[in-house]
Chain A
């Protein structure tokens, strides 16, 4: 298949209460690599296997949460086309000039019915990996640290008008629904993909707008998830739940909190999604196993704690 339009999640901007503590967490514990800082004090990070200059931006603020999530599109022409479509849909659209985030081209920022801010961009500077593009080694030990997260993968967000945001992502941005969580005919969760991963964005119905449940980072194996759990124990990182498996997306996972209360996931494994697939449907009577496959039971904190 060919990927066109929206290619992938490209970055997430996360608010933190204490930047030095956040850097210890995201760099030393997760293993992201610091790739730049700017005059606003924002810090740019990337995974060891990511080629673009950054995928995480940390910004110090007095309340944690997500500022915005950005998706990379295939070309400037697509960026312009989608900006128009977003306006037609009724989004508030703002064009943010190239360079406002260092190393990033022009961004099209838009709001969503669940109150979250998203952006599209077509260009980001190439930083590359330590392995390079010519006769590369599979990995370089000097760039592996902590949990050794390979890359930023997806976000899970909470908001009220779930159906509105799903409509926006499917009808305007060309995302597909990989999995729905239903309570009768009411959709209470939706997993969306713009490529061949089981999800690039997940949204759960919630009374408040604009809540951030987690940012997720990919690991190579289940063994890596267990190793992450050991790091969580060693450094007394507040654990949320895991290691366990999700029924939804099949991910093997562990959840924990950064030093500002933002939830992180590191996970390994899902399935390959093809665009002709019909959505998987989860029903309310099986929700425990849909979310935590081993326990087959819901967890209050996982469901309710957000920033």
Chain B
């Protein structure tokens, strides 16, 4: 059984089976839109808000998803398997390291390619 997943930020749509995670299916198809981090529920970069649809979730770091957030349909895409078609919005992001403003302002080579934030 496969469901359509729609990333509202980018308009990306892809198919995800009930056995796949929202992030895993996106990644395997070479699609983009949700940042790809540890894929194990720990780092929080793939945080998404479900605007419609049902998912089943595995364990996620409470440092990134509180009980309250989870109750509101905020999950880590790497730990959420669809039970219906899903529309989601991306909340997570890659936080820049080497983060001091001094470093960022004048040393562009410290930063990976532009637009990496929402790509793998």
A231 within 8 A of B: no
Return the chain A residue nearest B115 by Cβ.
A300
- Docked Cα-Cα span, A307 to B5, in Å, equals 28
Asked whether any CB of chain B lies closer than 8 Å to the CB of A263, the reply is yes
Q: Is the interface of B mostly helix, strand, loop or mixed?
A: loop
Measured between C-beta atoms, what is the minimum distance from A151 to chain B in Å? 24
User: Across the interface, do B61 and A284 meet the contact criterion of CB distance under 8 Å?
Assistant: no
Kindly list chain A residues whose C-beta atoms are within 8 Å of the C-beta of B42.
17, 63-64, 257, 260-262, 307
Q: How many interface residues does chain A have, given as a range?
A: 35 or more
Q: Which of B37, B42, B109, B116 has the most CB of A within 10 A?
A: B42
**Interface mask (B55-88 → A, CB under 8 Å = 1, otherwise 0):** 0000111111000000000000000000000000
Is there an interface contact between A285 and B37, defined as CB atoms closer than 8 Å?
no
Q: What size tier do the contact residues of chain B reach?
A: 20 to 34
Q: Is the CB of B97 within 8 A of A261?
A: no
Nearest Cβ distance between residue B52 and chain A, in whole angstroms?
A: 27
Query: Quick check: is A49 within 8 A (CB to CB) of the other chain?
Result: no
Could you tell me if B112 and A260 are in contact, using CB atoms closer than 8 angstroms?
no
Stretch at the interface among A84-92, A131-139, A203-211, A273-281: A203-211
- Tell me the dominant secondary structure on chain A's binding face: loop
Q: Name the contact of A301 in the complex, choosing from B36, B59, B61, B113 (C-beta under 8 A).
A: B36
Q: Does A24 interact with chain B (Cβ within 8 Å)?
A: no
Query: Which residues of chain A from 183 to 197 have a CB within 8 Å of any chain B CB?
Result: 183-184, 186, 188
Chain A residues whose CB sits within 8 angstroms of the CB of B96 once the complex forms: 303-304
- The residue that B100 contacts in the complex, of A204, A205, A301, with Cβ under 8 A, is A205
Are B59's CB and A17's CB within 8 A? yes
Decide: B40 and A284 in contact? CB cutoff 8 A. no
The answer to whether the Cβ of A130 comes within 8 Å of any Cβ in the partner chain is no
- Output the least CB separation between B103 and chain A (Å): 5
Please report the C-alpha to C-alpha distance between residue A64 and residue B38 in the assembled complex, in whole angstroms: 11
Interface pair A284/B112, CB less than 8 Å apart = no
**Chain B: residues with CB nearer than 8 A to chain A?**
36-43, 45, 59-64, 94-100, 102-103, 107, 109-113, 116-117, 119-120
Which residues of A does B touch, CB under 8 Å? 17-18, 62-65, 158, 183-184, 186, 188, 204-207, 238, 257-263, 284-285, 287-288, 297-301, 303-307
Closest 5 CB pairs of A and B: A261-B42, A261-B38, A238-B39, A63-B63, A261-B40
